[in-house]
Amino acid sequence: MLFHVKMTVNLPHDLPADQTAEILQREKAYSQSLQSQGKWRHIWRIAGHYANISIFDVADNDELHALLSGLPLFKFMDIEVMPLLRHPSAVRDDDR
């Protein structure tokens, strides 16, 4: 199943710099691992915001929830999820 996920990060201003750096390092490694596995298909930064739009390709809602809640930044995020399916008027059968 494909999901459109908007993630907005709200790091506390009083979070120590070394703790922030460590969380961001773990977040990058985790997200890149999911991208390499093909589960996190696309990620785009939203200009002017500490946010992204991503496309996930997972088996079901439970898998998506498990992946998102595993994000090191999860507790600092506002997340919006929209399930996607191919439109009948699409001219391609893939994501090109």
pLDDT surpassing 70 at residue 96: no
Structural domain range at position 77 = 2-84
**pLDDT for res 94:** 75
The helix or strand, by DSSP H or E, that contains position 40, with its residue range, turns out to be strand 40-45
96 SS3 class: coil
34 inside domain? yes
pTM: 0.90
Q: Indicate the pairing of strand 40-45 with strand 51-57.
A: antiparallel
79 inside domain? yes
Q: Collect all residues with Cβ–Cβ distance below 8 Å to 34 and sequence separation of at least 6.
A: 40, 67
48 inside domain? yes
Task: State the Cα–Cα distance between residues 54 and 44, nearest whole angstrom.
Answer: 6
- Total structural domains in the chain? 1
Q: Is 67 exposed, middle or buried (0-12, 13-18, 19+ CB in 10 A)?
A: buried
Band the pLDDT of 69: cuts 50, 70, 90: very high
- pLDDT 10s digits, 33-56: 999 999 999 999 999 999 999 999
64 inside domain? yes
CATH of the domain at 33: 3.30.70.1060
